């Protein structure tokens, strides 16, 4: 009872508490009202020698000036271990799925980053079965992937498809942790139902801090998710797939808390501590020994401005960046990935097969050339292109369409069954398009197919309707582009 204080002031979600006794709280200690233990606070920083700024972890309506506050002397902790798989919780470890109490084994959400000597680095590609990702921006096992895009371009559904495909590869060794940071509660419910329908829920632990929660809860939800992933990696010997939706909301929540504390903002109006907050979270998401944490982050791009400082602060920690484009989405090509803006550090001869590497370079060169021809086509039409440019342009359009795919998690919306395409089949299909094996096939036949073999039955039928004039132009273009033998 000596370790208590009195609420001095309340400003938004920041509660200033003054302690008259000799015992003072430490940073991150959890406090609660003497009259209501469900009204919890977290010590954030000191305002003077006896007063502390605390963030409210519950609705602010429960606090009032003069209320007596008790200090637990402990930081916030959450349930961890095998028992959290298939469960949904909040940052206090309270169940949100109606399945009874959570496991008693708990772990503080504030942990030190691992020593450099204990971190293992590996360059092993993790296949997702999604063509455009595996081919143009492969994911590194134990690495970090960012899915960048504005609102409504398909970040969440792409992240959910990655979760679905990778967990099913090895359910015994792989587990997933999903942290819903600042997104809609409706999306959380849809995710839960989809994971249950596709039979992967029992391999996933979910923790949510929704859009309607206070900034302190949204901020701590990401850190709590990291803690669950660390327990699986360090003590249970699992490979963890850590998903965050949305990492920008994590930065935004920190900014809201900073504004309430009258902290002087830094670049682009964000908090001065933005970089350190990102570092503290990402540096814990590393591989140790034989076990890895592979991180996939959905990152909202405000006003489609990818140069926003809140977005750029995340870039330094990523191994792969996948940019979703609103223009591609409007064209109906899903997933709406901007191929030329996306990339991965794993796309090198040291990590991927050389045939894959060479094909990806040739494909990007083709797409870049086609992009330069787009303006000409929009002005004078495709018919005005030279035979060589026309051939390049048509192959590029077929390649873009080939990168579309039906998702398992979108079967209810699209009415089309999802498909998993191996990297081997993807490379084979791209090579066939680049060689010109499908020059006689219309580009529409490449939309939402799996392997390129699905277009083969159409090839012989379509070839018959082409005129000899087109065949002549194609042969002329091939002669121009044909490389002399050594």
Q: Is the pLDDT of residue 1 over 80?
A: no
Tokens of 39: 């009204």
CB 241 within 8 A of CB 234: no
CATH number of the domain at 354-481, out of 1.10.1140.10, 1.10.3720.10, 3.30.1300.10, 3.40.50.300?
A: 1.10.1140.10
Confidence of residue 75 (pLDDT cuts 50, 70, 90): very high
Tokens of 364: 């990007």
Per-position b or e across 374-401, b if 16+ CB within 10 A of its CB: eeebeeeeeeebebbbbbbbbbbbbbbb
Confidence of residue 118 (pLDDT cuts 50, 70, 90): confident
Q: Which CATH class is domain 4-75?
A: mainly beta
Span 57-83, mean pLDDT?
91
CB 438 within 8 A of CB 164: no
| Helix 423-435 and helix 354-380, axial crossing angle in degrees, nearest 10 | 50
DSSP string for 156-207 = HHHHHHHHHHHHTT-TTTEEEEEEEES--HHHHHHHHHHHHHTT-GGGEEEE
Q: Which residue has the higher pLDDT, 462 or 365?
A: 365
Confidence of residue 252 (pLDDT cuts 50, 70, 90): very high
Q: Is the pLDDT of residue 479 over 50?
A: no
Instruction: Give residue 320's pLDDT.
Output: 93
CATH architecture observed for domain 79-344? 3-Layer(aba) Sandwich (3.40)
Neighbours of 2 (CB within 10 A): 9
Instruction: Give residue 121's pLDDT.
Output: 75
Instruction: Give residue 22's pLDDT.
Output: 66
* Pairing mode, strands 106-108 and 125-126: unpaired
pLDDT tens column, 319-354: 999 999 999 999 989 999 999 999 999 999 989 999
* Active-site residue flag, 326: no
Confidence of residue 243 (pLDDT cuts 50, 70, 90): very high
* Active-site residue flag, 155: yes
pTM for the complete prediction? 0.87
Span 106-118, mean pLDDT?
88
Span 87-104, mean pLDDT?
91
Instruction: Give residue 475's pLDDT.
Output: 52
Burial class (CB in 10 A: 0-12, 13-18, 19+), 276: exposed
CB 149 within 8 A of CB 334: no
Tokens of 60: 């602010």
* Active-site residue flag, 8: no
Q: Length of the chain in residues, anyone?
A: 486
CA dist list (Å): 397 to 361, 367, 445: 17, 8, 11
Distance in angstroms (rounded) separating the CA atoms of residues 257 and 55: 8
pLDDT tens column, 17-58: 998 776 788 989 999 999 888 899 999 888 888 899 999 998
Span 290-305, mean pLDDT?
91
- Smallest CA-to-CA distance from 361 within 129, 132, 136 is with 136
* Pairing mode, strands 106-108 and 239-245: unpaired
Q: Is the pLDDT of residue 471 over 50?
A: no
pLDDT tens column, 357-413: 999 999 999 999 999 898 888 888 888 888 899 999 999 999 999 999 999 988 888
Catalytic residue of the set 184, 197, 330, 368: 184
CB 28 within 8 A of CB 76: yes
**What integer best gives the mean pLDDT of the chain?**
87
Catalytic residue of the set 40, 155, 249, 395: 155
Residues of the chain with CATH 2.40.10.170: 4-75
Residues 6+ apart with CB under 8 A from 162: 128, 130, 133, 139, 243, 296
Distance in angstroms (rounded) separating the CA atoms of residues 93 and 141: 29
β-partners of residue 243 are: 178, 296
Confidence of residue 162 (pLDDT cuts 50, 70, 90): very high
Tokens of 210: 């929704």
Catalytic residue of the set 183, 187, 194, 230: 183
Span 255-262, mean pLDDT?
85
Span 142-148, mean pLDDT?
93
Residues of the chain with CATH 1.10.1140.10: 354-481
Q: Is the pLDDT of residue 292 over 70?
A: yes
Residues of the chain with CATH 3.40.50.300: 79-344
Confidence of residue 421 (pLDDT cuts 50, 70, 90): very high
Confidence of residue 85 (pLDDT cuts 50, 70, 90): very high
Distance in angstroms (rounded) separating the CA atoms of residues 267 and 253: 16
Q: Is the pLDDT of residue 482 over 70?
A: no
């Amino acid at each position: 009872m000596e370790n208590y204080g009195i609420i001095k002031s309340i400003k938004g979600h920041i509660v200033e508490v003054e302690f008259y006794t000799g015992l003072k709280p430490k940073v991150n200690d959890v406090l609660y009202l003497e009259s209501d233990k469900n009204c919890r606070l977290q010590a954030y920083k000191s305002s003077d020698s006896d007063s502390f700024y605390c963030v409210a972890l519950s609705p602010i309506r429960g606090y009032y000036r003069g209320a007596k506050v008790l200090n637990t002397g402990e930081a916030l902790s959450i349930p961890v271990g095998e028992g959290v798989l298939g469960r949904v919780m909040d940052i206090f470890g309270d169940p949100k799925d109606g399945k009874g109490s959570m496991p008693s084994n708990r772990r503080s959400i504030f942990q030190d980053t691992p020593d450099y000597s204990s971190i293992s680095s590996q360059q092993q590609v993790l296949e997702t079965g999604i063509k455009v990702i595996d081919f143009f921006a492969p994911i590194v096992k134990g690495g970090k992937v960012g899915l960048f895009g504005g609102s409504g371009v398909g970040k969440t559904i792409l992240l959910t498809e990655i979760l679905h495909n990778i967990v099913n590869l090895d359910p015994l060794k792989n587990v997933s942790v999903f942290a819903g940071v600042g997104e809609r509660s409706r999306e959380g419910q849809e995710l839960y139902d989809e994971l249950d329908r596709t039979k992967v829920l029992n391999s996933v632990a979910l923790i949510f801090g929704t859009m309607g929660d206070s900034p302190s809860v949204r901020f701590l939800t990401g850190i709590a998710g990291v803690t669950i992933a660390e327990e699986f990696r360090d003590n249970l010997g699992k490979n963890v797939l850590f998903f965050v939706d949305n990492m920008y909301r994590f930065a935004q929540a920190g900014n809201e808390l900073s504004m309430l504390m009258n902290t002087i903002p830094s670049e682009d109006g964000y908090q001065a501590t933005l970089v350190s907050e990102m570092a503290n979270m990402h540096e814990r998401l590393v591989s140790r020994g034989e076990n890895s944490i592979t991180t996939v982050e959905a990152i909202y791009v405000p006003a489609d401005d990818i140069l926003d400082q809140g977005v750029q602060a995340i870039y330094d920690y990523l191994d792969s960046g996948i940019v979703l484009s609103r223009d591609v989405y409007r064209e109906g090509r899903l997933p709406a990935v901007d191929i030329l803006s996306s990339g991965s550090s794993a796309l090198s001869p040291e990590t991927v097969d050389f045939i894959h590497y060479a094909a990806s370079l040739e494909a990007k060169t083709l797409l870049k050339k086609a992009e330069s021809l787009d303006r000409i086509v929009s002005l004078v039409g495709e018919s005005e292109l030279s035979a060589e440019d026309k051939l390049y342009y048509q192959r590029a359009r077929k390649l873009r369409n080939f990168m579309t795919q039906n998702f398992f998690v979108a079967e209810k919306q699209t009415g089309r069954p999802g498909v998993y395409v191996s990297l081997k089949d993807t490379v084979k299909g791209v090579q066939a398009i680049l060689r010109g094996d499908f020059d006689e096939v219309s580009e529409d036949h490449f939309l939402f197919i799996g392997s390129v073999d699905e277009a083969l039955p159409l090839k012989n039928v379509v070839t018959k309707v082409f005129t000899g004039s087109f065949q002549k132009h194609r042969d002329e273009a091939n002669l121009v582009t044909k490389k002399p033998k050594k």
